[in-house]
Structure 1
């Protein structure tokens, strides 16, 4: 199975979406010990290029291939996907609805209560009480039980990522400070400047601050000499280093977003400063739950830290201990993965759908034109042996079908909408096998068109004709179609080398064809 993740990260976006997606990938990797996943594709809008997977995850399986793409994916037309994940504040409603038509399952990561998602997608929002904001959805993964948890907390050396080494501070309170992966408003420098101004009036000597700058931090930071013994600065920590450092601290001062959720998981009492508008809802909800302190600005945050030296936040610590974070997410993801990889799961779930199968022998002139236009659509024709069918050859083909018992073609219709064409060719009743072929109506808005057509063909072939085996041919570079057929239970049986010749600008290119088959169960 392949996972496609669509997110935004880099300057202007921050790194929260990328790292939230990364933590979800880590859970999938953990679950793929079975193994299920063979490839992960990260579609990134923005200028951030993540380091290799093995530097981000602990011991990722070698069989998983990670492909990273930086491009404007909102303008693209996705082809058939298996599992798609979107973490975006800018994707519009039409994109989600288009994407769910081209994927077997869609997970939408949400923290701003957007109303743009399709009804049959999976909405993942770990904020308390978020479920009450979504009505009419079939799959809601909402509440603290569905938080995406970091998978590992390891004791990794920090010297390589540390810009200034700490002095001895074993008797001081350790304060973790982070204002996000990018920190465009440069709260990090404002925090240092404020700390310098307050050095004489606030007992900062009782604290040692661990200031973590994210991988996308664009500014040059300066620490005044009087503060050098009170601040250790780190830049671009790995996720494991970030988590380990935070876990060793007594308190934290952080922006909302992904860092706040990781601090909640680590049960570190935290003072949260809102840095962007989209953090407002979940900061408010976690504050209502009594597990964070929300400071309106940096001066009030430092004032709260000062008060915590004398009066530790006992109630907040107790509330953190009582949190039930992420307890349901892994089992929910595992159920989804198993459903996606079951060869017959889609066939069984579509068994109740009634399609109107119109034989090519009975097509009206209007329906005949529908078939021709559907077949010559650029998104369909590019995967065919012949890229264009003329009107004359189409008419001749239909006329010859009446005298050919080895071929059967249907125009499939659901709810008065044409969804595509299915065919059985090279039908051999003696040896009980045939070849299948399908193509979808690109303009249809209905979901799972390919699976519905294929389910009809298999039912007719195995139940009506009593066939034993179905075969198919697919171009080797049509990866999405190959993945789809594998999901539907088809097995690769061979390769026809240089089987198809493509001519462009008087130059010939030869393509391999994959042979696949499926037996009647």
Structure 2
């Protein structure tokens, strides 16, 4: 059987869509009693409805388990076509777009996602119980006395180059102050640049740049770090699953809801501008603050409901 994965990719979209559909596909494969082949379908080749129609004409419904879609490129006509081809359609959503066919399953794993869907139905899979990321992002329980390493990531493309813009604000925090007697040496900033990062990488005496890390490499780097600064996309869920105290900075409008809801839970800090970064770093410097953040994240139970839902949707054996 084949599972078709439609996702936005490239410099304008980053890697979050790809990682979400792959994480869902891995869960399905683990639960299934049959061999399932994932068919990767980047939407930049299928944005034309004619191209999508020609692609779908080659699909055998008897050999298809269904489709998973994570796309802002596709509109109502695209989703209607997919709905006519696949018996099961699961659509990732962040903002309650009015484009999905009736009967398709809508997945939004943001905290309190039900607030976005006032008339939510059983086919809406909403909230942190349905949050998805690669299972390599296991909880990191250890909390060191001081902040020695800072993890920074703004996704696969970072179109606004927040990676460079934020460095002076990090370095102006109390952690880097020569007048702070509690600082034996300044922390190291670990900046993760995504696959589609198109700017000149920044430089600093405190900085190590990492490029296009795999999920396993990302989690290994998180294990070295004490706090994180991140945009509000897929990396935020990975940091939550890893129990990493994090400062969130919005890099795209569709991230706004998830960021505000994580902030309301008290799990993460919300930087509404770069100028707030030094103060928020200082607030996470005490060990007790980071212990509180980890304890809050442990209680969120991310992804606890997804496997039961997948068994029902795809008729997978227990």
Give the TM-score normalised by structure 2: 0.84
Q: Which residue is 1:329 aligned to?
A: 306
- Secondary structure of the equivalent of 1:148? coil
Is 1:301 matched up with 2:271?
Answer: no
Q: Which residue is 1:18 aligned to?
A: 18
Q: Which residue is 1:95 aligned to?
A: 78
The alpha-carbon deviation at position 305 of structure 1 amounts to 0.9
Q: Which residue is 1:150 aligned to?
A: 134
Cα separation, partners in 2 of 1:43 and 1:318, compared to 1, 3 Å: same
- Secondary structure of the equivalent of 1:42? strand
Q: 1:192 pairs with 143, 157, 167, which one? A: 167
Gaps of 5+ in 1: 47-69, 155-168, 342-521
The alpha-carbon deviation at position 129 of structure 1 amounts to 2.3
Higher strand share: 1
Q: Which residue is 2:124 aligned to?
A: 140
The alpha-carbon deviation at position 277 of structure 1 amounts to 0.8
Q: Which residue is 2:244 aligned to?
A: 268
The alpha-carbon deviation at position 315 of structure 1 amounts to 3.7
Gaps of 5+ in 2: 139-143
Alpha-carbon separation, structure 2, partners of 1:170 and 1:317: 14
Contact 1:273–1:297 (Cα < 8 Å) also in 2: yes
CA RMSD of superposed structures (Å) = 2.6
The alpha-carbon deviation at position 30 of structure 1 amounts to 2.3
The alpha-carbon deviation at position 26 of structure 1 amounts to 2.2
What per-residue deviation string (whole Å, max 9, x for no partner) do you get for residues 367-420 of structure 1? Answer: xxxxxxxxxxxxxxxxxxxxxxxxxxxxxxxxxxxxxxxxxxxxxxxxxxxxxx
Alpha-carbon separation, structure 2, partners of 1:177 and 1:72: 32
Q: Which residue is 1:27 aligned to?
A: 27
Cα separation, partners in 2 of 1:196 and 1:174, compared to 1, 3 Å: closer
Contact 1:119–1:138 (Cα < 8 Å) also in 2: no
Q: 1:257 pairs with 228, 233, 238, which one? A: 233
Alpha-carbon separation, structure 2, partners of 1:264 and 1:136: 25
Contact 2:137–2:241 (Cα < 8 Å) also in 1: no
Q: 1:317 pairs with 289, 294, 316, which one? A: 294
The alpha-carbon deviation at position 29 of structure 1 amounts to 3.0
Contact 2:153–2:163 (Cα < 8 Å) also in 1: yes
Alpha-carbon separation, structure 1, partners of 2:233 and 2:161: 16
Alpha-carbon separation, structure 2, partners of 1:302 and 1:20: 31
Q: Which residue is 1:45 aligned to?
A: 43
Of structures 1 and 2, the one scoring higher in RCO (CA 8 A, sep 6+) is 2
> Which of these two proteins has the greater Rg computed from alpha carbons?
1
What per-residue deviation string (whole Å, max 9, x for no partner) do you get for residues 34-53 of structure 1? Answer: 3341x22111134xxxxxxx
Q: Which residue is 2:47 aligned to?
A: 72
Give the TM-score normalised by structure 1: 0.53
Q: Which residue is 2:148 aligned to?
A: 173
Q: 2:267 pairs with 291, 294, 318, which one? A: 291
The alpha-carbon deviation at position 191 of structure 1 amounts to 2.1
- Secondary structure of the equivalent of 1:317? helix
- Secondary structure of the equivalent of 1:104? coil
Contact 1:7–1:18 (Cα < 8 Å) also in 2: yes
Number of residue equivalences? 297
Contact 2:154–2:230 (Cα < 8 Å) also in 1: yes
